[in-house]
């Protein structure tokens, strides 16, 4: 599989796209001087503690207080082991949300109290009406490693599957990691020399030292740490030996990348290309076309079937349909299987492209064969294994439904590039003209009873006016007879279909 990263630098924003075999699978757009706060470390003050939710809210100077569950609040490992014993596995710092805190007598009100100073890191951007989520389990990412200043744990990326390499990196991390700290070896650390990893850890330790100094001298509501500029951050996080080419259309940023990452092997740096053609870079590689498709809830499959993606507040529902595909043979099960298999791959791509997170329910076309059901789920799992966002996939139910979750750290692409329709106010629909005319007639009747004058002027959208007047002015005559008043209908083409004025 060929992998290409595209970077488009505009005056006020930077757009990133990842292509796999020529198809756009991921897209990000960030302000050039990003206002993203995920990863930022703040010095804040506990504002409120909610025992009923086992949560706390912390004021760090943002528009809304930061939410923290008890599992987000650091408790020293020694205390955790005393409480949970064997339940605290080697990877428990990742799974603390699953630990039975309350059953073991640990309550949030005993750990933090209103007015307490606290150092936290933003782990989730504000989404919709929800504020950001924070954690005191601090992490500082580097090129090859992630430093965890207050967690004693050595971890290796699960994407590194070679056992010998995992052991090598784990031994290296154990040897290099300072006492009372933790390190995770990232996927790009695979095959790297010890010196490169040492340099990375050294840089992160210097960064932590600066943060520590700021903790001692900074007042409450202070930003203690934010990540490197957005272009360099994305290159650090996305660019690896698995990438065939990284193409950027801004000379200054290209030079900055080459300078900042000069420690990388020349073989890797040779994959970084400067794009200076007349056709815009995202248009040249078909990304703009893919972005336009995000606005549509229907996604066409190559076989003739299609999927429908519907987003609600609680979850995302995806429906698979055969469409125009009828298959070449006479076996309906084979036809359905072909559509479902293609849909499984496309659903994985659309989840990444649209950056859809949270609960996802997929309604595949019903199949009788248990074996075929397994094939579809396995295809979905294999396609989703390339996703950088953690996800879980359930087996197919008897109704043909597959439940899955995908980690959500911010709003979807659609949520970031669109706003509520000013016409329907975000409902997604408006009343039809006939229904509006019925509503207007009722209001005319009520208005006529309140006034003494003999004339009424009604201003409406032309489509509504058509139904108000009726064929041969039948409806208008009926209203005039009932109200015993003269009614004038004035149509205004610029009126919203639901808007009307009675005077």
Q: Which domains does the chain have, with CATH numbers?
A: 3-33+245-287 (no CATH), 40-225 (2.40.50.140), 296-417 (3.40.630), 433-502 (3.40.1260.20)
Residue linked to tokens 């293609």: 342
Q: What local confidence, expressed as pLDDT, does residue 79 receive?
A: 46
Which residues 6+ apart lie within 8 Å of 259 measured at CB? none
Name the E strands within 110-193.
117-124, 133-135, 140-141, 145-148, 154-156, 182-185
Q: What local confidence, expressed as pLDDT, does residue 292 receive?
A: 87
C-beta neighbour count of 202 within 10 angstroms: 12
Q: Helices (H) and strands (E) in the chain — how many of each? A: 15, 24
Q: What local confidence, expressed as pLDDT, does residue 398 receive?
A: 85
Residue 172 and residue 189 in contact, taking contact as beta carbons nearer than 8 Å: no
Residue 458 and residue 480 in contact, taking contact as beta carbons nearer than 8 Å: no
What pLDDT, in 10s, does the model give residues 223-261? Answer: 999 888 889 888 988 888 889 999 999 999 999 999 888
Q: From CA 364, how far away is CA 341, in angstroms rounded?
A: 10
Q: What local confidence, expressed as pLDDT, does residue 472 receive?
A: 87
Q: What local confidence, expressed as pLDDT, does residue 105 receive?
A: 62
Q: What local confidence, expressed as pLDDT, does residue 97 receive?
A: 47
Q: What local confidence, expressed as pLDDT, does residue 327 receive?
A: 67
Backbone angles phi, psi at 402, to 5 degrees: -120, 125
Spatial CA neighbour of 327 closest among 306, 345, 303, 302: 303
Instruction: Report the 3 state secondary structure along 129-198.
Output: CECCEEECCCCEECCCEEEECCCCCEEECCCCCCHHHHHHHHHHHHHHCCCCCEEEECHHHCCCCHHHHH
Q: What local confidence, expressed as pLDDT, does residue 101 receive?
A: 57
Write out residues in the chain with pLDDT < 50, as ranges: 79-97
Q: What local confidence, expressed as pLDDT, does residue 388 receive?
A: 84
């Amino acid at each position: 599989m060929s992998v290409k990263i595209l970077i488009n630098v505009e005056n006020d924003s930077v757009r990133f796209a990842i292509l796999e075999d020529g198809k756009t699978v991921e897209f990000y757009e960030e302000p050039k001087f990003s206002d993203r706060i995920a990863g930022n470390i703040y010095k804040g003050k506990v504002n409120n503690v909610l025992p009923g939710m086992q949560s706390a809210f912390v004021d760090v100077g943002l528009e809304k207080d930061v939410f923290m569950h008890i599992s987000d609040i650091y408790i020293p490992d020694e205390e955790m082991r005393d409480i949970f014993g064997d339940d605290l596995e080697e990877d428990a710092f990742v799974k603390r949300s699953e630990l039975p805190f309350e059953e073991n007598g640990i309550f949030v009100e005993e750990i933090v109290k209103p007015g307490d100073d606290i150092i936290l890191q933003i782990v989730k951007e504000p989404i919709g009406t929800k504020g950001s989520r924070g954690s005191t389990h601090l992490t500082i990412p580097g090129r090859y490693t992630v430093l965890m200043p207050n967690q004693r744990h050595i971890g290796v990326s699960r994407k590194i599957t070679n056992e010998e390499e995992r052991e090598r990196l784990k031994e290296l991390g154990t040897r290099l990691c300072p006492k009372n700290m933790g390190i995770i070896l990232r996927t790009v650390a695979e095959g790297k020399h010890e010196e490169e990893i040492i340099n990375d850890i050294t840089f992160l330790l210097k960064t932590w030292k600066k943060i520590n100094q700021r903790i001692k001298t900074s007042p409450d509501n202070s930003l203690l740490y934010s990540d490197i500029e957005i272009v360099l951050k994305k290159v650090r996080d996305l660019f690896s030996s698995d990438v065939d080419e990284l193409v950027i259309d801004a000379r200054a940023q290209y030079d900055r990348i080459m300078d900042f990452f000069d420690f990388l092997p020349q073989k890797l740096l040779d994959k970084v290309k400067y794009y200076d053609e007349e056709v815009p870079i995202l248009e040249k590689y078909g990304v703009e076309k893919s972005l336009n498709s995000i606005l549509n809830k229907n996604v066409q499959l190559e076989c003739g079937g299609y999927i429908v993606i519907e987003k609600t507040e609680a979850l995302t529902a995806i429906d698979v349909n055969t469409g125009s595909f009828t298959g070449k043979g006479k076996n309906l099960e084979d036809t359905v299987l072909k559509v479902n298999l293609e849909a499984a791959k496309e659903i994985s791509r659309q989840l990444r492209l649209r950056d859809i997170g949270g609960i996802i329910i997929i309604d595949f076309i019903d199949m009788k064969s248990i074996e075929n059901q397994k094939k579809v789920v396995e295809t979905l799992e294999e396609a989703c294994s390339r996703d950088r966002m953690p996800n879980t996939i359930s087996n197919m139910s008897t109704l043909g439904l597959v439940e899955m979750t995908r980690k959500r750290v911010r709003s979807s692409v659609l949520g970031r590039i669109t706003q509520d329709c000013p016409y329907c106010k975000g409902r997604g629909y408006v009343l039809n003209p006939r229904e509006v005319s019925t509503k207007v007639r009722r209001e005319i009747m009520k208005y006529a009873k309140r006034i003494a004058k003999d004339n009424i002027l009604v201003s409406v959208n032309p489509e509504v006016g058509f139904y108000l007047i009726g064929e041969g002015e039948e409806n208008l005559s009926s209203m005039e007879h009932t109200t015993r008043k003269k009614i004038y209908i004035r149509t205004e083409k610029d009126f919203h279909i639901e808007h009307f004025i009675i005077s």
